[in-house]
Amino acid sequence: MMRLVATLVSLLMPMSLSAQEEEIVLRLSQAEVSITTNFDGSEILVYGAVKRDAPPPDIGPLGVVVTVSGPSVPVLVRRKEKKFGIWLNTDAVEVDRAPSYYAVVTSGPLNRVLTRVEDLRHKISIPRAIRSVGAPMHISNATLFTEALIRIRTRSDQYQVIEGGVKLDEDTLFRAAVRLPAALTEGDYAARIFLTRAGRVVARYDTVIDVRKVGLERWLFNLSRENALLYGLMSLVIAIGAGWGASAIFNMLRR
C-alpha cells in the first residue's frame, strides 16, 4: 500500500510543481465591446507572458489554448424532412446549454496541445462546451442534432476553431486575435487561457469581456422589454410612415 502511495505521489509531483512554476500574466486589447447600430464585428487581441520562478519544466513542449465563450442558453434543434414535395419539421431535440458564441484558438493542433482527459475536465473543445443530456425516447441519434448545431454556427462564424492562431515567442510571450462577428448576444463573455505541457493543463487564467448594447440600440432593447406596448405602437407608426413615404415617392416618379 505504501509503495502504491509513493508511486502516485511521484507521478503527481511534476504536474504540481509545473503548476507552481508557471503562471499567466495576461492583457486584453479591450475588456468591453459596445454594440451600436453600425456594429459589424470586432477583434480582441489577447497577449501575455508566462511567469516563471525557475527554468521551464522538462515535461513536454509548451502549448497555449485561448477560449472565448458567449452566454449559454437552451437551443431547440429541429430536423427537416421532405415529404410529399414539402420540407417539414419532424424531430426536435432541445440542447440544454449551448454558447451563443464560442472560439478556440491554439498554438498548435488541438489534439496535440490538449489530451482528451484534459478536454473533458475543462470543457475546452466546442463539443465539450455544449451540454446536451436528455432527448425524446424515440430519437436514437441525438448526437446528430448537436453536430448540426455546430455546423450551422460554424458557417455563420459563431463557432470558431483556429489551430495555430496563438503565436509563441521563445516559450514565454504569446498573442492571439479573437474575431467577434456582428451578430453578438449581449452579456458577459468568458475568456479562458490555458498553458499545457504534454497535453496537460499546468496553468489557467480566467477573465470576462463585457459585451453591451449602447446608444439607440440600448434604448430600443430596454424599451422592447420594459414597455412592450409602446415599442409595438412605435414600430407600427414607423412601418406605416415608411409605407406612406415609399408610396408618395412612387407616385411622384410616375408623374
pLDDT at 159: 96
- Average pLDDT of the residues in 15-37: 75
pTM: 0.73
Query: In this structure, is residue 76 part of a structural domain?
Result: yes
Q: How confident is the model at residue 7 (pLDDT cuts 50, 70, 90)?
A: very low
More confident position, 237 or 134: 237
With respect to residue 9, please indicate whether it lies within any of the assigned structural domains.
no
Instruction: Mark whether 82 and 98 lie in a shared domain.
Output: yes
Instruction: List the domain range (segments joined by +) for residue 31.
Output: 16-213
| Residues 148 and 236 both lie in one domain | no
**Same domain, yes or no, for 85 and 165?**
yes
Residue 164: what pLDDT? 94
Task: Please indicate, yes or no, whether residues 146 and 220 belong to a single structural domain of this protein.
Answer: no
Closest CA to 98 of 140, 157, 153: 153
Dump pLDDT digits (tens) for 171-197. Answer: 889 999 999 998 888 899 999 999 999
CA dist 153 and 18 (Å) reads 37
- Please check the confidence at residue 8 and state whether its pLDDT lies above 50: no
Report the distance separating Cα 23 and Cα 195, nearest Å. Answer: 8
Whether residues 185 and 255 share a domain: the answer is no
Per the CB < 8 A criterion, the answer to whether 144 and 119 are in contact is no
Q: Is residue 118 part of a domain?
A: yes
Q: pLDDT tens across 86-116, in order?
A: 666 566 777 888 999 999 999 999 999 999 9
Same domain, 53 and 152: yes
For residues 151 and 195, membership in a common domain is answered with yes
Q: What percent of the chain has pLDDT over 90?
A: 42
Mean pLDDT computed over 144-165: 91
Nearest Cα neighbor of 124 from 142, 105, 108 is 105
pLDDT at 230: 62
pLDDT of residue 133: 65
Q: Is residue 11 part of a domain?
A: no
Our count of domains for the chain comes to: 2
Average pLDDT, the chain: 80
> Higher-confidence residue: 22 or 68?
68
Which range (150-159, 182-191, 195-204, 232-241) has the least confidence?
A: 232-241
Do residues 127 and 231 both lie within one domain?
no
Q: Does residue 250 share a domain with residue 147?
A: no
